[in-house]
Amino acid sequence: MTLPPSPAGAFAASSEPVPHRSATPVASLHLLGAGHPPCGIGDFSQLLLDTLRAAEPGVHNALTIEPRQFRLAETWAAIGRADAVVANFPVVAWKRALFGPLAVYALAKLRRRACLTILHEWAGLHRLRRLVLRPLLLLSDTIFLVSPQVREELAADPLVGFLARRAALMPVPPNLSRPAGIADSPLRQRLLAARRAGRVVLGHFGSIYPGKQPEAVLDIAAALAARGEDPLLVFIGSFIKASDGIEGVFDAKVAALGLEDAVVVSGYVASAEELFGLFETVDAFAYVLPEGLTARRASVLACVQAGRPVVVTAPMRADEFDHHPRYRELLAAGAILPVPRGAPAEAYAEAVLGARARPTRLPEIDRAAWFRDAADGLRARMPDRGRRRRGASET
């Protein structure tokens, strides 16, 4: 059965080839976005699935959701071969397929399959996105949160806050790993030339959206200029297209600060080799986060692997990294330099200048081991695989 596409919220669910009904049943069915536009949480979803498949070949499958049409029979059968449906939220690619994941969760409940949700953020989401996510959380048998700060934000929600009490914490690995080599690019050459000319190259990596306060990073560049420096601020990433008009606000702030010749936005960079080619030209990275550094900031982990200092707002909670010993090791080693919460832009500028001359220190990060930590936590909450086998022969 194929339902015709609708102008809002329609989606297509397409799965990988369906195994023969005599094959080993799938332990988990992972909902993935179509990858357009790309996002860190979407990458995390795929890498987590890859890690599970490496440990247990043939028992983890994927269902891709995209905003076109819904193949009910195919989706129903795919759910029937699984013991649990797993989804990460929020995935940028699902903004135009708002009801796709909800429909899959509803079908999973009809088939008496477990729903496991990994929630990466909450308070920073637009209220309409939280509105769509609340029913999914209510349908979830297990909710994984990636940070105690996110748990606190969820607990404050008047409608679904009670769910935070039974949520589990999952350590988030870096989505990127340092490649064996780098790739050159015109932007890389521009940044190298700026450093040779004595300019301070300040970096910021990841999607550009209000929750990461890009305007506050502009203030750091302005503070560097006020100290007599000649900064070049590079945003390695692209704007998330949304109704908040962040790109217009950003451009207006650049003009107001007189930074037109001191700010560059790379746009989406496809390869790790090109990304790290840009990373290695940076004197220091900077993040000004309203909630402080949290364990969910995979973009900070990516920057750390370039060996350059990352100046970031200090965590709000003392227990923020209790569930994430690998992240704690990076903090203890000084790869991440916290600035007190509420500090002005001048304090960040001072930290950047203080770290500027620091030699490059490449940390030893085994990303595969980090992802195994996350996969082990997920597997521990999956239903007993021997509990259901009826789905293997159902269609």
Query: Which SS3 state, helix, strand or coil, does residue 116 take?
Result: strand
Contact assessment for residue 157 and residue 129, using Cβ atoms and an 8 Å cutoff: no
Domains 2-173+371-393 and 186-364 share a fold: yes
What are the residue boundaries of the structural domains of the chain, listed by start? 2-173+371-393, 186-364
- Identify the residue whose tokens are 């899959």: 104
Question: Whole-angstrom Cα distance, residue 203 to residue 216?
Answer: 13
- What 8-state DSSP symbol labels residue 321? T
The encoded tokens of residue 11 equal 């989606």
> What is the fold, at CATH topology level, of the domain defined by 186-364?
Rossmann fold (3.40.50)
Helix (H) or strand (E) holding 152: helix 148-155
> What is the fold, at CATH topology level, of the domain defined by 2-173+371-393?
Rossmann fold (3.40.50)
Going by DSSP bridges, is the β-strand pair 142-145/168-169 parallel, antiparallel, or unpaired? Answer: parallel
Question: Whole-angstrom Cα distance, residue 175 to residue 219?
Answer: 28
> Residue 392 has what pLDDT?
42
Which residue, 170, 188, 55, is CA-closest to 120?
170
> Residue 304 has what pLDDT?
94
Question: Whole-angstrom Cα distance, residue 219 to residue 238?
Answer: 19
Contact assessment for residue 80 and residue 395, using Cβ atoms and an 8 Å cutoff: yes
Going by DSSP bridges, is the β-strand pair 12-15/60-66 parallel, antiparallel, or unpaired? Answer: antiparallel
> Residue 38 has what pLDDT?
65
Question: Whole-angstrom Cα distance, residue 218 to residue 349?
Answer: 11
User: In this predicted model, what pLDDT tens digit does every residue of 330-355 receive, in sequence order?
Assistant: 999 999 999 999 999 999 999 999 99
Q: Give every residue of the chain whose pLDDT is below 50, as ranges.
A: 1-25, 387-395
Q: pTM for this one?
A: 0.81
Helix (H) or strand (E) holding 26: strand 26-33
User: In this predicted model, what pLDDT tens digit does every residue of 221-250 receive, in sequence order?
Assistant: 999 999 999 999 999 999 887 656 888 999
Question: Whole-angstrom Cα distance, residue 241 to residue 243?
Answer: 7
